[in-house]
Structure 1
Amino acid sequence: MIQILKVSENISPRLKPYIPIAITLVKQFGSNLEVVIHDLTQPHQSVVAIIGNVTDRELYAPTTNYVLKLLKNPGEESNVYKTTTMDGKELKSSTTIIKDDNNFIVGCFCINFLIEGFSSTIKTLTELFLSPEEKEETTHNYEKFNNTIHDVVNSILEEVIEDRNANFDKISREQKIDIIRELNERGLFLVKGAVEIIAEKFGTSKYTIYNYLDKVKDSKLSNPLIKSR
């Protein structure tokens, strides 16, 4: 029995065939597994299906900081990594990009497996059975599973400012441009509404933010590989 099964009534026909696969995976691996299907033609409300529950998200939640970065910097179409949620849950996660027949990105299929309780056992078995050469370091990411676009923007913005040890009340114009450059590299401006939220945080207009984007020589707010509705 699947404890959590949420599917948007408006899910794209291109993504709907993945739902039975997600249901099978959760039935197979139980309550520690969650599968989330994203419609990346609308990153600001991308979650269109949730099977299982690990990250406590709702339908139409925005995409994560990790997926935004993948969209901005396309590479491997399937990525496996460890991550930690904001409330401290340890996860083994994967993200697989979904493309249409024209090679446009239309969505992604994300698996989150809760590994809390298994970590110490895994470490013991690894030390026991693997040689040093066989022990591969798994990439660790701090993926943020937010339910609103404001939370996504604020969490990424706060992280960028903290990385620079900047005082939010005393940020110079040059620092703002540098911050906009970093936010752009992380794919934040692929999300509808991000410009307005950042403008409000900076106490300026959205036109000033667009001007900053022009200055970092990347004012195009969409990825040519991402399919628009």
Structure 2
Amino acid sequence: MGRAKFTASSSKATAGQKLLFDQLQQIAQGLGETFAPFCEVVLHDLTDPKQAIVAIHNNLSGRKVGQGATELGLARIADPDYAQVISNYANSFADGRQAKSTSIGIKGADGSYVAALCLNVDLTLFQGLQSAIGQFVSVDANNSPREQLIPVGADAIRAHIDQFAARRATTPRALNTEDRRALLHELRDAGCMQVRRSSDIIAAHLGVSRATVYADAR
């Protein structure tokens, strides 16, 4: 982290500008501490472009306090109508690491730019995490056995029956023999018939006898 007190071209600085930069210093420090160590926060004094960098927190770019303004800073100095906020634009550090940057221009009372607060996020770690997560969550759909990791119990059996009946626009107790047989096959394939007292649960929900359930399950 680099830091320097604001001089704003020494005698040319007004009390208001000094107060403004003091507050910007606090903001830059707070952002730097919050997003450490992934985000570099740089405060620029655009009233002194040759020594524009006032503070650097989480120095990822290798720059130093006292270095000159960037092209973006010079563009703001030349044009007060230049965009005040430019967010999430692609950038890169000197060693080639990819970065995502946001630059916020700060204007003085006369409408000209006096400062800029810039955030540069190192994307290297996040890109690595994205790749690792993508690999971790991938599944082989062509090599998957038929299995559900949902516990099967009485409530699950009743819910399965209700869903089956709803697909046929009817109620469980109104299912005909053919539909009941199809239902019992589904329940067996889903492992519901392995539940203790499953025949009693199914018979009660369908409003038939256990003997009917056994016959339809054949």
Q: Per-residue deviation at 1:67?
A: 2.7
Aligned to 1:59: 65
Aligned to 1:75: 82
Pairs within 5 Å for 1:119-138:
119-122=127-130
Q: 1:102-133 CA distances to partner (integer Å, 9 max, x unpaired)? A: 2121111111111112125447889xxxxxxx
Q: How many residues of Structure 1 are paired with residues of Structure 2 in the alignment?
A: 126
SS in structure 1 of the partner of residue 35 of structure 2: helix
Cα gap change, 1:121/1:54 in structure 2, threshold over 3 Å: closer, same or farther? same
Higher relative contact order (CA 8 A, sep 6+): 1
Is 1:8–1:59's contact at 8 Å kept on the other side of the alignment?
no
SS in structure 1 of the partner of residue 124 of structure 2: coil
Say yes or no: does 1:32 pair with 2:69.
no
Aligned to 2:56: 50
Distance 2:133 2:112 in 1: 42
Cα gap change, 1:119/1:67 in structure 2, threshold over 3 Å: closer, same or farther? farther
Q: RMSD over aligned Cα, in angstroms?
A: 2.8
SS in structure 2 of the partner of residue 66 of structure 1: helix
TM-score of the superposed pair, with normalisation by structure 2? 0.50
Pairs within 5 Å for 1:1-229:
4-8=1-5, 10=7, 12-13=17-18, 14-72=20-78, 74-80=81-87, 81-122=89-130
Q: Per-residue deviation at 1:66?
A: 3.0
Q: Which amino acid is 2:125 matched to?
A: G
Unpaired stretches in structure 1, ≥5 consecutive residues:
127-229
Q: 1:200-227 CA distances to partner (integer Å, 9 max, x unpaired)? A: xxxxxxxxxxxxxxxxxxxxxxxxxxxx
Q: Per-residue deviation at 1:52?
A: 1.9
Distance 1:67 1:125 in 2: 37
Q: Per-residue deviation at 1:9?
A: 5.3
Cα gap change, 1:120/1:19 in structure 2, threshold over 3 Å: closer, same or farther? same
Distance 2:7 2:77 in 1: 23
Cα gap change, 1:70/1:99 in structure 2, threshold over 3 Å: closer, same or farther? closer
Distance 1:113 1:102 in 2: 32
Sequence identity, in percent? 25
Is 2:77–2:112's contact at 8 Å kept on the other side of the alignment?
no
Cα gap change, 1:70/1:102 in structure 2, threshold over 3 Å: closer, same or farther? closer
Q: 1:135-175 CA distances to partner (integer Å, 9 max, x unpaired)? A: xxxxxxxxxxxxxxxxxxxxxxxxxxxxxxxxxxxxxxxxx
Which one has the bigger helix percentage? 2
Q: Per-residue deviation at 1:36?
A: 0.9
Cα gap change, 1:104/1:71 in structure 2, threshold over 3 Å: closer, same or farther? closer
Distance 1:94 1:125 in 2: 26
